Structure 1
Amino acid sequence: MLPLLPVFTFAQATPTPTPTPQQEIVQPQQVRPLPGSLDTVPVFNSNSPEVVQTEGILLSTFPPSGKKAANAHLNFPFQGRFDIFAHHIAKATSPEDLRTLYLGVLLHNPSTQPVTVDVLQAASYLSQPDAPFIELPPQTENPLGTIFAGPGDRVMNEILRGRRQSIFPAQITIPPQQSRMLLNLPIPVQTLEPPINGRSTLMRLRSNGRVYAASLAMFAKSNADGSERSPTLAEWQQLLETGNLAGPRDLAPTPPEAGGKVIYGRVAGVAQGSQWQAQLVDSPNVRYLSIPPRGQAFSYGLSTLTAGRQGTNQVQSAPLMVRYPDTAYQAHGNYGIEYNLSLPLYNNTNQQQTISILLQTPIKEDELTQGGLRFLTPPAAQTFFRGTVRLRYSDDRGLPQTRYVHLVQKRGQAGEPLVLLNMPPGDRRLVQFDFLYPPDATPPQVLTIQNVKVEN
């Protein structure tokens, strides 16, 4: 019989598991620039300051005339199709100050006629309790949209499915020379430990006249009994007229072409482009995409950006038509932008080929220093992508399939096949790949077409 030893002796004697050594794997292959381009739909992009601790104006496209802080108003009217994207975090400055921060989005009709704004799709969610950052597998079928981690992930998932959350009306009418609230929602922290919470919002809108927009941050007002209430339209309007930019301000970006370390900054401005549509083909003169040779692959960059072009020499970041001087020069990351990619695959060989399609998160590079994409095994600890993608294609039986797949990828993660297609000689198969680039993701990613080398 073994003598009884103190528990701490066992603990000391148990060897600590040796962590798996991380290796870098180079996947020799071509990375192609993504065909197509962003559309011209303007996007009200409110993401700076990301962490909001002082009340004020987050982003205003109102005219500066008559406003106390003229530099806070960018004078950009919207008409027709436009989007509103907002992604902000409330973080208590001390344990004694746990007031609820409200996010308000206000639209103003400057004309002498009523303006109608259609809310085509819209969603807004909190980190807590709506969409906590939970651990999820790398790949999960998500047919009902119930799989998500984080508010940005959940919002993009809803918009991808064409939904309008029930808290949003289908339409609002703004009387002449008046304003209306499009959003007036809390970011509570009082019951959370640590006291920090975030809210992500995306709205696709269409107006039949000119409107100005503003996103604003204000702490809850107090009722006579000490309870909190949401700010009124009049209180939001007063903040817009007399307030300054909200704070604290984010780190200022590196000027373009400055060289050295790149600080991207956070976005606060109007970006140009809501959707990127493309047909991935061999050349503009043909209507097919030839599959790679057996055992080989090629990729297309997704959300490539300055200093992260993956050898494509392509920056996909949406340009900013107006912005604040201390915020990002481009909409790096393309948060909230929808990619609609068609892949008309063609097996131009005389043998059956097995083709896989993957989303991957390689190590970020501007030029491919190793002649291909670099991955880590095991991947790094940092999560670089969490979101749902949609695949539409005909399977090997010829049956049409529509699948929603939720992905979680770490830095350097090679990913798993989203779909496997067994293509006979001469077979043509159209695959459509769609997703909205989620907030809290870190670009770039790649879409890879791989010819699997089947072992005999």
Structure 2
Amino acid sequence: MFPLVPTLFLADVITIPPPTSGRRYLTQSQEIRPLPGQLNEIPVFNSNSPEVVKAEGILLSTFPPTAKKFPNAHLNLPISGQFDFFSHHIARPINKQQTLYQGVLIYNPSSQPVTLNILQGLSYVTSPDAPFRELPPTVEDPQGQVFSGPGSRLAGDILRGRHQRTFAEQIRIGPQQTQMLFSLPIPTASARSTYLRLQSDGPVHLANLVRFGTSTRFPSLPNLPGLPISPVSSLQMTGLGQWQDLLNIGRLAEPRDVIPTLQENVYSGEKVYGRVAGVSVGSQWRGTVVDRPGMNVLTIPYRGYAFSYPLSTVATATLGTQQIQSAPLLARYPDTAIRAHGNYGVQYHLTLPLYNPTPQPQRVSLLIQTPFKQNVASNRLTFIDRPEGQVFFRGTVRFTYADDLGQTQQRYFHLVQRQGQQGESLITLNLPPGGSRSVDVELIYPPDATPPQVLTIKTLDSDAG
């Protein structure tokens, strides 16, 4: 079995549980700054509700509601140009002998043919592709072989630019015609995480569907990367017709997730963020992290001090910055999240032009940390000396920079952090007096993470090694 990530609940103003087992809290006094940059305007077909699927139906459809038995299951939103596809769902059928299949349809509503290019495509299932396993908090991973769970593996491989041949490079869709984008199984009690980067030369509608199939062996099928050759269902083989029938007569898949709280800035009580089923706006967050707008350097902290920038903030966990990074939604179902909370699958690309203004050489470390979430204090972070319980972040971070010899280094670290975890120094740079060094920090926010995290820049004490 693998750990479930619970539905996100709105935090109280400060969400710090009482200490247990003799653990003690650690409060760091340091500035927390809003993260420079912004989301781009790339639409994302964003399917994460219901996360746990027990009954077949429609997970997310942007098809027109015309001639559909359940019109409320269709959001009627065409997408064109560059867009992304993200889905993360867990199969837990009542009849455990059944296999759940995920099928994605794509429809061309226009009078001209449309070409869809799949620029990058990856999909992993918990077993056998990416089982959850215990890993150290920090592992340097130059080859991309370290992961725990499908979200962790997916995020790391997207970052590395990998692509599975499971997905066709191009699909041609005739006028008013529908094609299969893909159809893949989700084994019982497993999760499947999928991310595609797409380019269409005309408007299209998409639908993400799930239904059960009877297993039948087809040993002549080509082996799909990360997927077993058999059993493969007859449903998967017969393809388009049955999926179109489900689209036309199916209702929204069940069970439905907890209905979210609609007011974003509610700070007390057990308010619910909910899970996402809609089209969000923003596939990447790019920013150059400088002292203030108009500047071109990031002045390092005083020796022995640090400052931090939040990552993936949500409405009531901005760490005092009042900056909500969650992507807005163009369309959604009424019982699902009002923003893409957590920004699952969003690529953060941050450039830090570090500058040492002092007459002494300085050593600067960069860390990723997972403090306790709060919404009021921008001058401190709270951690705990022995983090326990649920993992809040499993994923890969990439650092690109020039070393002391001027050679470009690109280093990958896989991180596992629990709530209140201070994290470890990932890279340390030597800056001469008046010197500068630019660092690129990149990550794909993993589907099974819980926000927020922070990127911390710290200038070490003089006696630090």
Once the two structures are superposed, residues 153-183 of structure 1 have per-residue CA deviations (whole angstroms, 9 ceiling, x without a partner) of 1111111111211211111111221111112
Partner of 1:241: 248
Q: Which residue of 1 aligns with 2:80?
A: 79
Counterpart of 1:117? 116
What is the correspondence of 1:46-85 to structure 2 with a 5 Å cutoff?
Answer: 46-85=47-86
Match of 2:151 in 1: 152
Q: 1:251 aligns with which of 252, 258, 267?
A: 258
| Contact 2:403–2:429 (8 Å) recurs in 1 | yes
- Go from structure 1 to structure 2 and tell me whether the alpha carbon gap of 1:224 and 1:117 turns closer, same or farther (over 3 Å shift): closer
Which of 439, 449, 454 in structure 1 is aligned with 2:457? 449
Could you list the per-position Cα deviations for residues 35-87 of structure 1 after superposition, in whole angstroms to 9, with x for gaps in the alignment? Answer: 11100000000000000011100000011111111101001111000001000
| 1:221 Cα deviation from its structure 2 partner | 4.0
Of 447, 459, 464, which residue of structure 2 is paired with 1:439? Answer: 447
Q: Is the radius of gyration larger for structure 1 or structure 2?
A: 1
SS state at 2:262 partner: coil
Which residue pairs with 2:141 in the alignment?
142
Shift of 1:262: 2.2
| Structure 2 counterpart SS, 1:340 | strand
Name stretches of at least 5 consecutive residues in structure 1 with no aligned partner: 1-18, 190-195
What does residue range 39-438 of structure 1 map to in structure 2 within 5 Å?
39-94=40-95, 97-189=96-188, 196-221=189-214, 228-231=233-236, 232-256=239-263, 257-260=265-268, 261-368=270-377, 371-438=379-446
2 CA distance for matches of 1:119 and 1:222?
Answer: 29
Work out the CA distance in 2 between the residues paired with 1:272 and 1:392. Answer: 27
- Letter of the 1:202 partner, please give it: Y
C-alpha distance 434-223 of structure 1, shift in aligned 2 (>3 A): closer
Give TM-score scaled by structure 1 length: 0.91
Q: Distance in 2 between the 1:72 and 1:60 partners?
A: 7
Contact 1:262 1:307 in 2 (8 A): no
Provide the rounded CA distance (Å) in 1 between the counterparts of 2:437 and 2:61: 47
Other structure's SS at 1:85 match = strand
SS at match of 1:230: helix
Hey, what's the Cα distance between the residues in 1 that align with 2:122 and 2:155?
Answer: 8
Query: Secondary structure in 1 aligned to 2:151?
Result: helix
Which letter maps to 1:207? S
Once residues 93 and 335 of structure 2 are traced to their aligned partners in structure 1, the CA distance between those partners, rounded to angstroms, is 24
Q: Which residue in the other structure is 1:27 paired with?
A: 28
Change (3 A) 1:259 1:346: closer
Structure 2 counterpart of 1:352, one-letter code = P
Specify the code of the residue in structure 2 equivalent to 1:237.
Q
Cα distance in 2 for partners of 1:163, 1:211 equals 25
Name the SS for the 2:272 alignment partner.
coil
Q: CA deviation at 1:126?
A: 0.2
Alpha-carbon distance, 1:223 to partner: 5.8
AA paired with 1:450?
K
For the residue of structure 2 that corresponds to 1:58, the secondary structure is: strand
SS in 2 for 1:234: helix
* Preserved CA contact (<8 Å) 1:20 1:378: no
Question: Does structure 1 conserve the Cα–Cα contact (< 8 Å) formed by 2:99 and 2:212?
Answer: yes
Q: Normalising to structure 2: TM-score of the pair? A: 0.90
Distance in 1 (CA, whole Å) between partners of 2:21 and 2:59 is 45
Q: 2 CA distance for matches of 1:113 and 1:107?
A: 15
Moved more, 41-50 or 222-231: 222-231
Which whole-Å CA distance do the structure 1 matches of 2:203 and 2:318 have between them? 37
Separation (CA, whole Å) in 1 of partners of 2:216 and 2:398: 46
Structure 2: stretches of 5+ with no match in the other structure: 1-19, 219-230
Structure 1 residue 224: Cα displacement: 11
**Alignment CA distance shift 1:223-1:121 (3 Å):** closer
Report deviation, 1:227.
8.1
**Aligned residues: CA RMSD:** 1.7
Question: Between Structure 1 and Structure 2, how many residues are aligned?
Answer: 429
**How much does 1:92 deviate?**
3.2
SS at match of 1:118: strand
Cα contact 2:55–2:93 (8 A) shared by 1: no
Change (3 A) 1:218 1:293: same
TM-superposition CA deviations, 1:251-307 (whole Å, max 9, x none): 000111455322110100000100000000011221110000000000001001111
| Contact 2:214–2:235 (Cα < 8 Å) also in 1 | yes
- Alignment partners' CA distance in 2, 1:203 and 1:413: 32
